[in-house]
């Protein structure tokens, strides 16, 4: 349970490793349908850049090196990458460790060191997770302040098609599709000085917006996979017909409610249709669920108290099983307790994470084949929390965390 050493300064990407990384990135992205990457307004602007990239899926990690070729870069990465691929290899690949949704001044210092001392670009995926329903996830509120502080060119790396090829809710089936990507200069350092952090934040948010189903319609992409709806019940957990939660199931090209029996078919154009209504767009259904959660929280609140199993990821050496316990959540935040606390961990449990400090929540639909989970992180450890309880709807929990955070923030602002 020794924490990962976050103080080690980043290193330049290993020059001997780069030909291999660039080749793999080109082959994988080309094979997946990405013919070329458009570069916009970069003719007279040389690295190092601050690269802010969309994050739809696993392919994003390979699009970025190809987009930046022939230059090297450092990448802000979650701890799990160091555990999965090894600390030495990951560091040689230029990765900087960070725990999701945990502010860390050490990471900021590493970013500045990479930009201004190593003279390497920094790549950040601000969404911090793969998107659930083909639309942009919640973005950090400090991106405008970050860009002004770093004072280097801000570049947007935007990709489309990655989610359609491997949606987060079914990463086991690859769907042949068309990928596009662009690397675009958003602001030079001189421009940053003449804009407020709020203006820059708004421009970054607009630049990172995407809708994969709109892209599918514009590009006239047809996805003919016989498995194209499998797993869709994970983000679309609430029946659009009867309103029940946790009753949705999926198989093949069908999404259906086990309670009321209404079925939807996901057609090749990405629309859900049933005999009761016309086509329904997945992002519309997803946003409807968010609104239902917000209504529930506003009227009588949302609370969760379920049995769980817990694994800890303190460092690059892998997971530590902590056993069973209980997870409680309400608008005040999370409380995680263990049935039997291992020696040396009594000062860490029960674990409390206040909702006012948590802008979003890392969710997993089938991490390492173990089923649904959420991840709660502290400065020294990431806790992967699993449950088979029917009330453990991780997408709804994600909504609730984001909604309660905004409500807490608004209430605080009203008192100032």
pLDDT band at residue 414 under the 50/70/90 scheme: very low
374 within 8 A of 362, measured Cβ to Cβ: yes
Mean pLDDT of 352-371: 92
Q: What is the pLDDT of residue 129?
A: 83
Q: Is the pLDDT of residue 289 over 80?
A: yes
Question: What proportion of the chain, given as a percentage, has pLDDT over 70?
Answer: 97
- Name which residue leads in pLDDT, 81 or 248: 248
Pick left, alpha or beta for residue 412 (phi over 0 → left; psi -120 to 50 → alpha; otherwise beta): alpha
- Domain annotation covers residue 313: yes
- Domain annotation covers residue 347: yes
Q: What is the pLDDT of residue 176?
A: 87
Average pLDDT in the chain? 92
- Domain annotation covers residue 2: no
316 within 8 A of 86, measured Cβ to Cβ: yes
Examine the domain organization and report whether 176 and 203 are in the same domain. yes
Examine the domain organization and report whether 244 and 348 are in the same domain. no
Question: Which residues are registered as beta bridge partners of 157?
Answer: 53, 183
- Domain annotation covers residue 284: yes
124-165 residue pLDDT tens: 999 988 889 999 999 999 999 999 999 999 999 999 999 999
pLDDT band at residue 196 under the 50/70/90 scheme: very high
Among 278, 300, 322, the domain boundary falls at 300
Q: What is the pLDDT of residue 44?
A: 87
66-110 residue pLDDT tens: 999 999 999 999 998 899 889 999 999 999 999 999 988 999 999
Contacts of 295 (CB under 8 A, 6+ apart): none
Examine the domain organization and report whether 382 and 411 are in the same domain. yes
- What CATH number did the domain enclosing 400 receive? 2.30.29.30
The C-alpha atoms of residue 73 and residue 10 are separated, in whole angstroms, by: 11
- Domain annotation covers residue 88: yes
Examine the domain organization and report whether 347 and 377 are in the same domain. yes
Q: What is the pLDDT of residue 412?
A: 52
Q: What is the pLDDT of residue 276?
A: 58
- Name which residue leads in pLDDT, 316 or 413: 316
Q: How many domains does the chain have?
A: 3
Q: What is the pLDDT of residue 415?
A: 42
- Domain annotation covers residue 361: yes
The C-alpha atoms of residue 213 and residue 218 are separated, in whole angstroms, by: 9
Among 218, 236, 268, the domain boundary falls at 218
Examine the domain organization and report whether 44 and 31 are in the same domain. yes
- Name which residue leads in pLDDT, 408 or 28: 28
Domain boundaries, position 322:
304-415
Q: What is the pLDDT of residue 48?
A: 95
Would you give the DSSP letter of residue 3?
P
- The angle, 0 to 180 degrees and rounded to 10, between the axes of the packed helices 143-150 and 105-116 is 40
Examine the domain organization and report whether 102 and 213 are in the same domain. yes
Pick left, alpha or beta for residue 86 (phi over 0 → left; psi -120 to 50 → alpha; otherwise beta): left
Among 241, 271, 300, the domain boundary falls at 300
Q: How far is CA 65 from CA 59, 199, 307, in A?
A: 11, 29, 42
Mean pLDDT of 347-368: 92
Q: What is the pLDDT of residue 1?
A: 86
The C-alpha atoms of residue 402 and residue 363 are separated, in whole angstroms, by: 12
The C-alpha atoms of residue 174 and residue 167 are separated, in whole angstroms, by: 9
Question: What proportion of the chain, given as a percentage, has pLDDT over 90?
Answer: 84
The C-alpha atoms of residue 333 and residue 355 are separated, in whole angstroms, by: 4
176 within 8 A of 33, measured Cβ to Cβ: yes
Q: Is the pLDDT of residue 416 over 50?
A: no
- Domain annotation covers residue 355: yes
């Amino acid at each position: 349970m020794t924490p990962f050493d976050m103080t080690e300064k980043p290193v330049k990407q290993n020059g001997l490793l780069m030909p291999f990384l660039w080749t793999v990135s080109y082959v994988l992205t080309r094979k997946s349908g990405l013919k070329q990457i458009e570069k916009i307004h970069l003719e007279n602007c040389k690295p190092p850049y601050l690269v802010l990239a969309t994050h739809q899926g696993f392919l994003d990690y390979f699009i970025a090196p190809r987009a930046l070729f022939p230059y090297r870069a450092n990448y802000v990465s979650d701890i799990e990458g160091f555990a999965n691929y090894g600390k030495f290899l990951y560091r040689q690949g230029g990765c900087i460790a960070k725990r999701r949704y945990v502010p860390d001044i050490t990471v900021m210092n590493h970013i500045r060191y990479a930009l201004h001392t190593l003279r390497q670009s920094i790549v950040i995926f601000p969404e911090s997770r793969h998107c659930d329903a083909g639309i942009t996830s919640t973005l950090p509120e400090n991106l405008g302040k970050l860009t002004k502080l770093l004072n280097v060119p801000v570049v947007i790396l935007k990709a489309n098609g990655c989610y359609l090829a491997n949606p987060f809710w079914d990463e086991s089936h690859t769907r042949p599709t068309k990928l596009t990507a662009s690397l675009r200069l958003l602001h030079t350092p001189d421009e940053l000085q003449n804009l407020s952090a709020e203006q820059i934040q708004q421009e970054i948010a607009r630049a990172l917006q995407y809708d994969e189903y709109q892209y599918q319609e514009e590009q006239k992409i047809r996805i003919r996979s016989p498995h194209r709806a499998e797993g869709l019940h994970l983000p679309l957990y609430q029946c659009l017909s009867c309103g029940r939660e946790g009753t949705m199931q999926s198989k093949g090209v069908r999404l259906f409610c086990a309670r009321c029996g209404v079925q939807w078919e996901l057609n090749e154009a990405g629309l859900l249709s049933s005999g009761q209504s016309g086509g329904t767009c997945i992002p519309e259904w997803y946003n409807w669920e968010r609104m239902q959660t917000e209504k529930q929280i506003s009227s009588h609140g949302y609370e969760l108290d379920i049995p769980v199993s817990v694994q800890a990821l303190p460092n690059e050496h892998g997971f530590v099983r902590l056993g069973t316990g209980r997870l409680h959540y309400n608008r005040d935040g999370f409380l995680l307790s263990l049935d039997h606390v291992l020696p040396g961990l009594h000062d860490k449990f029960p674990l409390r994470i206040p909702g006012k400090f948590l802008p979003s929540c890392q969710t997993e639909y089938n991490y390492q084949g173990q089923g649904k989970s959420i991840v709660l992180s502290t400065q020294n450890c990431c806790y992967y929390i699993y449950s088979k309880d029917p009330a453990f709807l991780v997408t709804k929990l994600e909504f609730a965390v984001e909604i309660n955070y905004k409500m807490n923030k608004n209430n605080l602002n009203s008192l100032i």
